[in-house]
Amino acid sequence: MNLPTPLPDAGRRHDIDALRALAFLFVILYHVGMYYVADWPWHLKSPHAAEWLQWPMRVLNIWRMDLVFLISGVSLGFLARHQGTAALLRSRGARLVLPLVFGMIVIVPYQAYAQGVANGLVAPGFGAFLLRYLSMAEPWPKRAFDGAEFGMTWNHLWYLPYLFAYTALVALTLPLWRSPAGQWVRRRFNALRGWQLLLLPVLPLVAWTVLLAPHFPPTHNLVRDFYLHAIYLTVFLYGYWMGVDTGIWKELERLRRLSLVLAVAAIGTLIAVRVGARGSAPGFVIDLLRTLYMWLAIATILGHGHRHLNRPWPWLRWANESVYPWYVLHQTLIVVAVVWLAPLALGPVLEPALILIATIGGCWLLTDALVRRVRWLRPLFGLTRRARHTGAAPQAQDQSPLSLASTRST
């Protein structure tokens, strides 16, 4: 079995930066699609909801957040080389918890308000709603909006507390990961080659799915979301182990075509089984195909990304600093666009196109014209403050706050 090779000291992992930005762009597209996909609950639903969207959305949904958590783990692998437990907790707490609190108080409330009004359980008038929402003095009607039972909600920002929890867990156990036993686990994982790399990482994910999914369905409740925690923490650790190793990345690049063929075969078989069996297929078969496709899709994306994206793209510097504010802003902008455009009855083609344009345009305008330019706003969106005397871009490790670290191996 080949031993892993450490990354050289020169060069930045541009492919990780690029994949991070593209992954969060997919999150925006996915959330626009959630407004239109039939029979899937979301904050608001379109009268143009379509059943045919379910499979395209499912094909994306199976791996989209798993990829995001794996990339975050990769970035933590870079950062943890130079920081101890206290430094990691201090720096990551500020970069994740502060935007979460700000988002729950300022960005997310309009989503809850629009959902509550649409459900007929909240009276029109955003000002009155916001006062009640922030005071948390009076309980909301049941099912007024997602998270109403807690008084406040984080909606799409759930990723931030999950990411902080996993980061804190790794930070608090750094002595374990740096011990001979921890290093042995890392070396064994990074030494996987060929079929082992495409199949063995699936086994823990299948086990979590079979054992936990029937009893703990996804809730995005940080305390009781045991199934999603098991899946996301596992792929987060995969990324953390992979971080600075070059051998496993070269192998993923070498296997990229094979993993693509196998991923297509896995999702094709899953669709055929689900459609042909009409709900009577054995649960284990569905779980196995779904989890296998998830890992093969991630391996394909990482392999092709390492092959084609690992270069200093002109847009990458801007994207690295913009991805966090876009993530914080995008879903509220989607809801605002829906509320404005739905009464115009523009139809199932023009309306989603305008919602997507309004969302991307709003993210771009607010981020570039406001968030990145106002020093006191920057930390509220996960960015570091710029020095007053310079207009230079922040250092590399500050351009990718959702990544938790620079992907430069220095």
> What is the reported pTM?
0.90
CA atoms within 13 A on the CB side of 181: 4
Terminal alpha carbon distance of the chain: 28
Q: Which residues, including other chains, have CB under 8 Å from residue 319's CB and lie 6 or more apart?
A: 17, 18, 21
Q: What is the C-alpha R_g of the chain?
A: 22
pLDDT in tens, the chain (410 residues): 333 344 443 357 899 999 999 999 999 999 999 999 999 999 999 999 999 999 999 999 999 999 999 999 999 988 888 888 998 898 888 899 999 999 999 999 999 999 999 999 999 999 999 999 999 888 899 899 999 988 899 999 999 999 999 999 999 999 999 999 999 999 999 999 999 999 999 999 999 999 999 999 998 889 899 999 999 999 999 999 998 889 999 999 999 999 999 999 999 999 999 888 776 777 889 999 999 999 999 999 999 999 999 999 999 999 999 999 999 999 999 999 999 999 999 999 999 999 999 999 999 999 999 999 999 999 999 998 874 544 433 333 334 445 444 444 33
Residue 191 CA to residue 219 CA, distance in Å, equals 35
The helices-and-strands tally (H runs, E runs) of the chain is 17, 0
The structure tokens listed for 375 are 């020093």
Report which DSSP code applies to 104.
Answer: I
Q: How far is CA 394 from the centre of its chain?
A: 23
Q: How far is CA 40 from the centre of its chain?
A: 19
User: Which residue's entry shows tokens 């196995």?
Assistant: 288
Q: Which residues, including other chains, have CB under 8 Å from residue 364's CB and lie 6 or more apart?
A: 322
Residue 304 CA to residue 310 CA, distance in Å, equals 10
Neighbouring CB atoms inside 10 A of 247's CB total 18
Whether the CB-CB separation of 55 and 385 falls below 8 Å is answered with no
Residue 321 CA to residue 317 CA, distance in Å, equals 7
Residue 396 CA to residue 386 CA, distance in Å, equals 13
Whether the CB-CB separation of 324 and 402 falls below 8 Å is answered with yes
Give burial (CB, 10 Å; 0-12/13-18/19+) of 392: exposed
Q: Which residues, including other chains, have CB under 8 Å from residue 138's CB and lie 6 or more apart?
A: 132
Give burial (CB, 10 Å; 0-12/13-18/19+) of 163: buried
Whether the CB-CB separation of 378 and 385 falls below 8 Å is answered with yes
Give the largest CA-CA distance in the chain: 66
Among candidates 256, 399, 235, which has minimal Cα distance to 325? 399
Q: DSSP readout, 336-388?
A: HHHHHHGGG--HHHHHHHHHHHHHHHHHHHHIIIIITT-TTTGGGGTPPPPPT
